[in-house]
Structures are given as structure tokens and as C-alpha cells.
Amino acid sequence: MVIFPAIDVRGGRCVRLTQGDYGRETIYAEDPVEQAHRFVDEGARWLHIVDLDGAREGRPVNVEPIRRIVREGGVPVQVGGGIRTLESADEWLAEGVSRVIVGTVLARDAGLAARFFERYGERVVAGIDARQGLVAVAGWREGTSEDTVTFARRMVSLGARRAIFTEIAVDGSLDGVAIEATRGLAEALRIPVIASGGVGSLADVVAVRELASVGVEGLIVGKALYEGRFRLADAIAATR
């Protein structure tokens, strides 16, 4: 299982939000590029980057710091936040990003979603964000009436090859991963799933590791690392 340390960029700085609330922001580093270097030095094999301003505005915003992370980091990077057109995806991939994460557009335009999956294959990830079992979009500010599993299966039918699942209610809480919801989604699909949200201890890492048998291939970890709950190296060791 792969541990993906998360770097959320807002206003050019490395921050974390609680439950996706832009009014509940904590700044952890002035320079996200330096933070990326620290994670790589600690053993990261991948980096998970989110352009929070992009998610809110519907277009890439924090391009320069993310570009530098991609160029200087030395490990594969997946990027999400505001990627709602094929052109935006093309630009990130041309910069050397290994995978782009697409969410909002998938819920709003099935035809465009299918084009994303057909065009990019393994290089596009379906971002599935849920609040109380229903899909949320637009930087988590808007809800939909579609339940998570139905939506995820629809994305697979359109060509999705990988998904990231985040339960918004626990994201940034340090209270534990939504294990049963993650298990249910992974069991319902035939594609790899990356879990996200709520990690607060190494026990959470171990709990997600036990889901590998149902298709969970990775775990995104953010606030727990920034708050010193455990070291990245220890989280990586706990997956073995």
C-alpha cells in the first residue's frame, strides 16, 4: 500500500482545511515546495497535491509552486483541484504531473467524464468526495443527490480506472478513517481505490492496510503528519 503525503496549496502556502471548510484553515508551511522536499527526504514515493484555490474557482490557480514541486520533487505527483477541462489536464500532464484528479466535472457532465477517461486512461483519477453518503462537488461546497456507490459505478462504466475516496465528515478531524464506507466502495468496484480523510494515528494506517484485499491500494495522509501524530517513515513502515 502506498502512503501519499498531502500538500494542499492555498494562496501559495501549504495549508489544511477541516472538513473542507475554507474558513477553518491552518497554515503549516509558507513554502509548499520545501514541504515537498521534506516528505521526499522522509521516504515518500508519491506526493498528493491539491490546488485549493483551483477547486474553489474551477481552474488551476497555484500553478507555479505546484510546477516547482513536480520539477524538483523527484517522485511521481498526482494533482487535483480545479481540473475541469481537457485543456487543464493537458497542461498539468505536460508539466510532468503523473496523474490528474478530476471530480466536479465527472458529476456534472457524463460525456466529458467519458472523454477524460478515454483520453488519459491510467493518468486520470476519479475523485469521489462524499458527505453522509452523497457525492459533493465544487471544492465540497455543493452537494448532489447521487449516492457514492452509484456514482462510482457509473464512473467505472464510463471508463474510470482508479478512484480516490474522501469522506468529508472526517477529513482533517484526526478522528479516524471512514473504514466501512471505504470498504463498501472498494468492494463495489473493480478498480483500485485510494482512501483519504480522518487519519489520526498509525492504527488508522494499519486499518486501511487491511483493506488491501478488497482493492484499497493507498492512503492519503495530511494533518496527522503536520501535527506530529506520527512520522511519514513510520506510516510507510506500518503498511508493510
Active site residues per annotation: 8, 129
Residue with cell 477547486: 55
- The bridge status of strand 134-137 relative to strand 142-147 is antiparallel
The C-alpha torsion from 157 through 109 and 152 to 143, rounded to 10°, is -160
Cα distance between residue 74 and residue 65, in whole Å:
15
The C-alpha cell that represents 78 in the structure block:
498526482
Nearest CA-CA partner of 184 in 159, 147, 227? 147
230 near 204, Cβ under 8 Å? no
* Dihedral (CA of 228, 231, 234, 239) sign: positive
CA distances from 155 to 60, 111, 150, 200 (A): 23, 11, 9, 30
